[in-house]
Amino acid sequence: MTAGNFFQKKLSINAGGKLIDLSSPKVMGIINLTPDSFFAASRKPAIEDALLQAEKMLNEGATFLDLGAYSSRPGAEDISAQEEADRLIPVVEAIAQNFKDAILSIDTFRASVAEAAIEAGAHLINDISGGQLDEAMFATVARLQVPYILMHMKGTPQNMVQHAQYDDIFNDVLLYFAKRYETLRAMNVHDVIIDPGFGFAKTAEQGYELMSKMQGFDMLELPVLVGISRKRMIYGLTGGTSADALNGTTALNTIALTKGANILRVHDVEEAVEAVKIWEASVLGLSKREEQPS
């Protein structure tokens, strides 16, 4: 649901045979299986720790869990596909076995890792590169027929800070999505979610400009995921570090909801779920909100 929007966005996806209704915004919890992700508290490389985090996030109201085993913070160390898979697949298997109703998203730009994770029990592919870093990704998504999160980024995690140049950031990102989605649609990929890629080859100023114009992406009629949780664009403005950025994250997530976000990708699920509830109540009114599908 988005207020004042005349575009007919696609607001459901089929994930593992389950129809997920995005007319009410959903929350995706981040579980990093890495030793060096930018927010230290999100690092859960041990299976036992990842299982505990998964349980916590599901109990707090997460619809999706996003598992990543390759750190994509600026300047992060590059690792092999084998190392990424070795970190990821045992955790996917463990969560899929212990939480059979959990909807698992896999944060990877490698087709081979994505396919192995889907075979292990995952349901979505979340690709920071939009298919640019592995030419086999689009074909793999089409063959597997799983939902695909198409993010905007230029360059690689190692050099993306050098690529934050745009003629017009909103129009450049919109054109990117339009072209990539046209290719996916021609390959019969049915469920595509777009992610503007805040913090990826974008300065803080560019990120806020993109946020201010984000409702314009509704012309693509696709669900929108926003991932701004605890990022530098927040604490660079408010002070401190990522550890101090929860309040700013909640504020910006709420703004993202007003701009048409359908999924919030976050480190802190409880706070994001509360933001969705309060935002919906403010838009629909409490009595109307109670009538919405959960």
Q: Which are the catalytic amino acids?
A: 231, 265
Closest CA to 272 of 62, 73, 85: 62
Q: How far is CA 164 from the centre of its chain?
A: 20
Query: What DSSP designation does 173 have?
Result: H
Q: For residue 96, what are the CA distances in angstroms to 121, 167, 269?
A: 6, 44, 19
Cα–Cα dist 180/17, whole Å: 25
CB 251 within 8 A of CB 230: no
Q: At what angle do helices 111-120 and 81-98 cross, to 10 degrees?
A: 20
The one-letter amino acid at 190: H
In sequence order, what are the beta bridge partners of 103?
64
12 Rama class: left (phi>0) / alpha (psi -120 to 50) / beta: beta
